[in-house]
Amino acid sequence: MDLELRGKVALVTGASVGIGLAIAEGLAAEGCDLVMAARGEERLTSEAARLAGRYGIRARPVACDVGDAAGVAALVEAAEAAFGGVDILINNAGSGSNETILEASDDKWQAYWELHVMAAVRLARGLVPSMIRRGGGVVLHNASICAVQPLWYEPIYNVTKAALMMFSKTLANEVATQNIRVNCVNPGLVLTPDWIKTAKQLTADTGGDWEGHLQSVADEHAANKRFATPEEVANFFVFLCSSKASYSLGSTYFVDGGMLRTA
């Protein structure tokens, strides 16, 4: 199936690892040029070079922190300088949390708000005008199943991802007449390096069976009893970027292995 993405320019945040890297690779395989953003410059530059060499596309790495207004401004400027703007924006950068509401500081709340919500707001302000100039575009937000089905140990993550989901719907309503489609994806359990790192930490004093720990998490939460690969989630993002999803806008899609407990 030709997804008609060849020659498009896509910007992906959190693009050096996990879901973000898998999305960047999926888009590169379809012929998209890339602006790849992440904080770690060395790994980001290496992955951008790898994708450019493998798929014959242009990949511009931009080391920045999108949880900071200055970082977003630098990213928008780099996209404009390299490609004259973008056709696709994937707001993927994010991080889990671990706290209680009664003990978490204002600073921690603010940091997650900046990363999960204001980064998306600022990137929309900075890049949607270039989509309008180019005749349309796609904006996708990577939120989480926790936006509607919270996990007890990360209230800040739950709240800010819920806000991101509502921002996605609101932006979709605002720009739909400009031929810009905005959607949100709520993944469930995805086997990223962060999950593996946490599992190894949690099992270090009890024999180190981190794989068994992850299987117990999947058994408890996912109807299909397994984690998704980053590529499985990325495939859905790539489809939503394509002309084959032309009537999909303003929606939230769950890619969660049956983890959501409601219809």
Predicted confidence (pLDDT) per residue in 8-22, tens digit: 999 999 999 999 999
Q: What is the pLDDT of residue 161?
A: 98
Q: Is the model's pLDDT at 1 over the cut of 90?
A: no
Question: For the chain, what percent of residues have pLDDT higher than 70?
Answer: 100
Q: What is the mean pLDDT of residues 224-241?
A: 98
> According to CATH, where is 3.40.50.720 located in the chain?
9-190+229-255
Q: Is the model's pLDDT at 194 over the cut of 90?
A: no
Instruction: Count CB neighbours of 96 within 10 A.
Output: 17
Q: What is the mean pLDDT of residues 64-68?
A: 98
Q: What is the mean pLDDT of residues 209-217?
A: 97
Q: What is the pTM of this model?
A: 0.97
Q: Is the model's pLDDT at 218 over the cut of 90?
A: yes
Instruction: Count CB neighbours of 249 within 10 A.
Output: 18
User: E strands of 14-58, at which residues?
Assistant: 33-38
Q: What is the pLDDT of residue 198?
A: 87
Q: What is the pLDDT of residue 245?
A: 98
Task: Mean pLDDT check: name the lowest of 77-81, 155-159, 197-201.
Answer: 197-201
Assigned fold of 9-190+229-255: Rossmann fold (3.40.50)
3-state helix, strand, coil in the chain (%, to 5): 50, 15, 35
Spatial CB neighbours of 35, under 8 Å, sequence gap ≥ 6: 9, 10, 11, 12, 59, 60, 62, 75, 78, 79, 82, 83, 86
Q: Which of 190, 212, 189, 188 is nearest to 200 (CA)?
A: 212
Q: What is the mean pLDDT of residues 233-247?
A: 98
Q: Which residues are catalytic?
A: 157
Mean pLDDT, all residues of the chain? 97
